[in-house]
Amino acid sequence: MTRPRAARGEGDQLREQLIEATTALLAETGDERAVTIRAIVDAVGVTPPSLYLHFPTKQDLVREVVDRRFAALGQAIGQAVAEPAERGDAAEALRAGCLAYLRWAHDDPGGYQVLFGARRETRSVGPDGSSNTAAFTSLKEGIGFCQATGVGRDGDVTRMATLVWASLHGLATLVPTRPEFGWPPLETMVDELIAGLVGIGR
Predicted local confidence at residue 1, as pLDDT: 40
Residue 106's pLDDT band, with cuts at 50, 70 and 90, is: very high
Residues 148-178: pLDDT tens digits? 999 999 999 999 999 999 999 999 999 999 9
| More confident of the two residues 130 and 199 | 199
* Measured CA angle at 120 (ends 71, 164), to 5 deg: 60
Which class does domain 61-198 fall in?
Answer: mainly alpha
Q: Which residues pair with 31 in a beta bridge?
A: 119
CA distances from 85 to 80, 96, 98, 182, 187 (A): 9, 10, 14, 32, 18
Length of the chain in terms of residues written? 202
The average pLDDT across 86-95 equals 96
